[in-house]
Copies of this chain bind each other. A is one copy, B any other.
Amino acid sequence: GAAPAVQAQPTIRWRLTSSFPKSLDTIHGAADVFAKKIGEMSGGKFQVSVHVPGELVPAFGVVDAVQQGTVEAGHTAPYYYFGKDDTFAIGTAIPFGMNSRQLTAWFYDGNGMKLMREFYDQYNIVNFPGGNTGAQMGGWYRKEIKSPADIKGLKFRVGGFAGKVLSRLGGVPQNIPGGEIYQALEKGTIDATEWVGPYDDEKLGFYKVAKNYYYPGWWEGGAQLDFYINKKAYNDLPNDYKAMVEAAASHAHTTMQAMYDARNPAALKRLVANGVKVQAFPKSVMDEAFKQAMELYEELSASNPNWKKVYTDYRNFQRDANLWFRFTEARFDSYMQSVKL
């Protein structure tokens, strides 16, 4: 039964700045889902307005804006901010890191949330996982990649931190926001680019100027987006609104990955029909990149205490998770990929 009660709830308006253009209904859409759900749950009393890059803040200005309280919230890929501290990268994806389920598990049932929040605290940020793209594709290349030598001198747009490993292979990484990549590739300012996967990449049109589409994106085996909330704005919320923020983020986390997983297959088919050549990175490239990544992580662990603290726990979790996923998950999937349905 339902009996009416009277309750004072504050009216709150937040501004959320996204790093992603509105055309990307997947990754930008997760912020829209988050805002809409909070509005619904609060009966319109807690409203979050979503802003595209450049409207209030540049695409890569989310951390500064949330830290300073210019906006109450942001939706971004933490690894864009590796220039401030490489530890940010662990919040999205590091080369040869965890896949999406493993990363979600580390955040929600391992030490991931606790450790990342300790780290984000110095930036006045409280974070919530807000979507994962799944394992990304390895990007679009004008020329084929046959060995590690083909990476040397390659001007390659890559999201954030992965550029550090690419540099060690002799590549020339470029950190360019999603909305500006096509032009750079078309003009020849860059030789190659990665973004996410078939559904987003098709929209951005890369296949028109580079036909070689490689996999896997070994630097993004499961790239997580986060909602970043200004600490004071979050702490000022009543408890019911705090719980809404958490649950709305989880809803966006679930539905964003669902969009990618549901829409990538058809997009891949269309790309192939448009003459795209889908191919695996040679093992020699994977092995050299893996070696360089592991060396980089050792160096960072020696030089950056923040990195060392978070990465040590991440790595241990990942090692055990891979051991387990090797059995029933991998066997089930490989069998299903071998049969004709």
Known: A258-B104, A268-B323. A334 touches B328 (CB 8 A): no
Interfacial chain B residues near A107, Cβ < 8 Å: 258
Assess the B5–A11 pair: CB atoms within 8 A. yes
A260 to B325, CA, bound (A): 11
Residues in B neighbouring A301, C-beta threshold 8 A: none
Complex interface: chain B residues within 8 A of A101 (CB): 100-101, 134, 257, 261
* Distance (whole angstroms) from the CB of A193 to the closest CB of chain B: 16
Contact string, A216-254, partner B, CB cutoff 8 A, digits 1/0?
Answer: 111001000000000000001011101110111011011
* Residues in A lying within 8 Å of B, measured CB to CB: 1-13, 37, 40-43, 45, 96, 99-102, 104-110, 129, 134-138, 197-198, 215-218, 221, 236, 238-240, 242-244, 246-248, 250-251, 253-255, 257-266, 268-269, 278, 280, 286, 290, 315, 317-337, 339, 341
Q: Given the complex of chains A and B, what is the CA–CA distance between A341 and B247 in angstroms?
A: 34
- Roughly how many angstroms separate A2 CA and B11 CA in the complex, as a whole number? 5
Check if B43 sits within 8 Å of A240, measured CB to CB: yes
Q: How many copies does the complex hold?
A: 2
17 A-B residue contacts at CB 8 Å?
A: A1-B12, A3-B10, A7-B9, A37-B243, A40-B242, A43-B238, A105-B258, A108-B254, A109-B263, A215-B331, A217-B328, A217-B332, A218-B335, A265-B321, A280-B331, A326-B337, A330-B337
Q: Is the CB of A329 within 8 A of B135?
A: yes
A249 to B, closest residue via Cβ: B251
Other 9 A-B pairs with CB < 8 A, given A99-B333, A105-B262, A108-B254 = A4-B9, A6-B7, A7-B45, A215-B331, A216-B332, A244-B247, A246-B251, A250-B250, A250-B255
Q: Which 8 A-B pairs have the closest CB atoms?
A: A105-B261, A40-B243, A109-B262, A108-B258, A2-B10, A265-B320, A216-B332, A247-B247
Residue of B nearest to A239 (CB): B40
Contact of A104 among B102, B261, B331 (CB under 8 A): B261
Instruction: List the B side residues contacting A96 at CB < 8 Å.
Output: 335-336, 339
Report the minimum CB–CB distance from A314 to chain B (whole Å): 10
Cross-chain contact of A41 among B8, B198, B244 (Cβ < 8 A): B244
The residues of B that contact A244 with a CB separation of less than 8 Å are: 41, 244, 247
Q: Which residue of B lies closest to A329 (CB)?
A: B135
Q: In the complex, what residue of chain B is closest to A12 when comparing beta carbons?
A: B2
Out of B2, B251, B259, B286, name the residue touching A335 (CB < 8 Å): B286
